[in-house]
A and B are shown apart, each in its own frame.
Chain A
Amino acid sequence: NAGVTQTPKFQVLKTGQSMTLQCAQDMNHEYMSWYRQDPGMGLRLIHYSVGAGITDQGEVPNGYNVSRSTTEDFPLRLLSAAPSQTSVYFCASSPDRVAGYTFGSGTRLTVV
């Protein structure tokens, strides 16, 4: 049972480039979320999904897109990378709204 798998683990982008961070879970969880962790800021919610075909914005959605075509996958797209998007990104999933989230191991992104 792999849990939540994030790829890649590390990525360096140039300003203006686009890329997709991948997230997949094999627990049949309905709820999935993307967070970013910055020093002194804790984890902040970017986007979330409560099921296939349903997504919504979190605290810091600007510059990011998501889609949820299947229960398993929840990719995060950076449209035009900026240095302010340098961060560690975590994907998480949960079976319902009150259960604890299961987090992936993170993607460390640097935008130069």
Chain B
Amino acid sequence: DQQVKQNSPSLSVQEGRISILNCDYTNSMFDYFLWYKKYPAEGPTFLISISSIKDKNEDGRFTVFLNKSAKHLSLHIVPSQPGDSAVYFCAARTTQTGANNLFFGTGTRLTVIP
């Protein structure tokens, strides 16, 4: 049972435009969310995170929005660049227990067209 879902396997965006990647989760115990970027033949790279006490976190061109009532988060990339082309994974965890499970979505492949 997938607790973190990324329902769009792929997304294509023109260079300079906004990329919006979406993620939904089902476990109400999740209180910390992360986005990772992955290039082929490399490990995932941490991009940005957000705690459930916030609804927005920004880092340069990357902004993550969290809607707790909808159990939904999104990653906005503005402006999109060709180097952003990669697979993006959403991940979630609970910090309220001793468990260290980080649950990942299935990923969205972003292609930024020059």
Contacts and interface: CB of A to CB of B under 8 A. Distances in A.
A112 B22 CA distance: 37
Given A31-B100, A97-B95, A100-B49, A105 B106 contact: no
Contacts of A48: 100-101
A45 B89 CA distance: 14
A103 B43 contact: yes
A44 interface: yes
B100 A50 contact: yes
Contacts of B106: 40-42
Contact of B100 (A97, A102, A105): A97
Interface in A72-112: 90, 92, 97-98, 100-106
Which of A4, A40, A98, A102: most chain B Cβ within 10 A? A98
Contacts, number: 63
A46 to B, nearest CB: 11
Judged by DSSP, the binding face of A is strand
Contacts of B43: 4, 90, 92, 103-106
B64 interface: no
A1 to B, nearest CB: 15
B44 A103 contact: yes
Interface of A: 4, 31, 33, 35, 40-45, 48, 50, 56, 58-59, 90, 92, 97-98, 100-106
7 contacts: A43-B89, A50-B98, A92-B43, A100-B46, A100-B49, A101-B46, A105-B42
Interface of B: 2, 4, 6, 32, 34, 36, 41-47, 49, 51, 89, 91, 93, 95, 98-107
In the A-B complex, list the 10 residue pairs whose CB atoms are closest, starting with the nearest: A100-B46, A103-B43, A42-B104, A43-B104, A42-B106, A48-B100, A103-B44, A105-B43, A104-B43, A45-B101
